[in-house]
Amino acid sequence: MSNKKKKAASARPVMAKKARQAVVGNPASHMAEPSEISDIKNSYDDLMYESKAFSQTAINALEARARMMGLKPAAAGNAKVLELGCSMGGNIITQALYYPDAEFIGIDLSGRQVAQGNAIIEKMGLKNVRLEEKDILTVDESFGKFDYIIVHGIWSWVPDTVKDKIFSICRNNLTEHGIAYISYNVYPGWKRSEQIREIMLFSSSGMQGESLALRTRKGLDTVNALAEILESDKGFRNNEKLQSMRNVLGKNGYYVAHEYMEAFNDPIYVNGFIEWANRHRLAYIGDTRLSMSFISWMAEHTRERIKALTNGDYIAKELYIDILFDSEFRRSLLCRQEEGHNIARNETVPIEIMENLYFRLVQGTGIDLDESNTMLSGIREVMSGGEPFRTEDVVANLNRRFPGLAFDRVQINSQLLLQTITGYFAVSSDKGEKLTFEDHKTYVPARFTDYVAAFVEHGAEQFVKPANRYNEGTPSFGYGHLYIMRQLSQPTTKQAVIDAVAENLNIVTTTVDGLKFNPPARVYVEQILSELAERHFFAQAD
């Protein structure tokens, strides 16, 4: 080992201001005053919202969901994507990284956030994503056509004229087979949170000249005091209200500020949202969480009672699901009205669609598939590998283990659909090639190294969070990741990387209970190579 100074490395056919009128109806429009738009802009400039990835908005997931519902959306690999209210780009930057032939554009009212996001994008060297400081109200058809339009965390928090404009953009700026995603707060569940919001607004009503952060702190202090009273005084037994308060107190300050303290926060019943979208000649597809649009997963007696209540009305079904589950948030998919007749509302998915989708266990969940059921054991085994799989993978597994035994592919697809509806399996339209390191055969393309360098050397994590190809948040990177990735800019050998690490890095690893130790370079390199493979960072050399 030389005396050079080392650099440390870390280790299945298968309401705020105005009350909304009842469950249905067309509420009076709240015109957006210039001062209100300015206030919204200033609040996000003053207290920047954490900019991160949301897996429900991943274009490979949006494509898969739309295909399951009978539509023919654009392939994620070369799609054109628009995000309204992009903040610093945290929801589309990593998607642009993994889909270099797709184009991503984000707009946001906050110039400060847009500037910061573009600076990060420049450091990463990404050419297929850009952010623009732009008022949603100024977007017209000349802005272009998009295969996917993403509107996450915006619709409920703006005046009705802006809500109308969002629908208008989704109508006029979607391609023929385009898909729009809009998230929003819904009743009846948000009625509980609405009480907390009103408490916070009341307690800080005399602080109009103060910053959003200070007003939020005052509101949280009041909620905390009331929660302590509920908790300590046995005369009060409203555990549901106490839990609502504790939920808010456990959130990040910037989230509470923009969720509970903004001038606008207008929850709506889902049928009101659907009818509003219909007036803009948009067709409602369903929720990205299929259990909020499907009842096939419920007990038979429950399904039959809901069917009797709804009499084939899909809007009523959506509403009653929300009432039964006290829903407070939805992520709805929309398409142009002309495509509406293609939407499958019978809760079945053709086999040819199912067999071309990829499934994987949702992050942070566990599923107990009956080991005594031979077919389920095939799903369980391929699922345990951690990589996305298709029906064919399950069939191949079963044929290998039980040669000569015939399996019903319809049953396999039905089980995959069930686990997707109930939220255990995530679904995507593609898999992405996961390569493991091989001497002289694989390398790390520059775009991935530049992405990691933005976090390690340029402080990107202060503003945006890293994610994987499914737009799921991931742990960040240490200098060791970047150093090894730079050694792999060209095909090389594992031993060469190990030698470089041993020569130049002081490897320090800390256990969960704080114990520090120095693992051998070979062990450390093996760990990093495994992580790079999991992130789909390797490419095959020509």
Q: Tell me the per-residue pLDDT of 242-260, one tens digit each, with 9 for 90 and over.
A: 888 998 999 888 788 888 8
In terms of Cβ atoms closer than 10 Å to its own Cβ (0-12, 13-18, 19+), residue 311 is: exposed
In this predicted structure, what is the pLDDT of residue 232? Answer: 86
The one-character DSSP state at 285 is: E
402 is written with which tokens?
């039980």
> Of 279, 293, 306, whose CA–CA distance to 166 is shortest?
279
- 329-336 and 174-185 as β-strands: parallel, antiparallel, unpaired? antiparallel
Give the length of the chain.
542
Cα angle value 491/494/496 (rounded, 5°): 85
In this predicted structure, what is the pLDDT of residue 369? Answer: 79
Q: How far apart are CA 367 and CA 387, in angstroms?
A: 15
168 is written with which tokens?
């208008």
Q: Which stretches of the chain drop beneath a pLDDT of 50? A: 1-29, 44
Angle between helices 190-203 and 253-260 (to 10 degrees): 100
Name the amino acid, one letter, at 236.
Answer: F
In this predicted structure, what is the pLDDT of residue 400? Answer: 95
* Single pTM value for the model: 0.88
In Å, how far are 216, 224, 322 from 210, measured between CA atoms? 10, 20, 37
113 is written with which tokens?
């956030």
Residues of the chain with CATH 3.40.50.150: 34-187+267-342
In this predicted structure, what is the pLDDT of residue 47? Answer: 54
Q: 73: cis peptide before it, omega within 30°?
A: no
Assigned CATH class of 34-187+267-342: alpha beta
Q: How far apart are CA 311 and CA 418, in angstroms?
A: 23
In this predicted structure, what is the pLDDT of residue 283? Answer: 98
Cα angle value 212/216/220 (rounded, 5°): 175
Q: Largest alpha-carbon pair distance within the chain?
A: 79
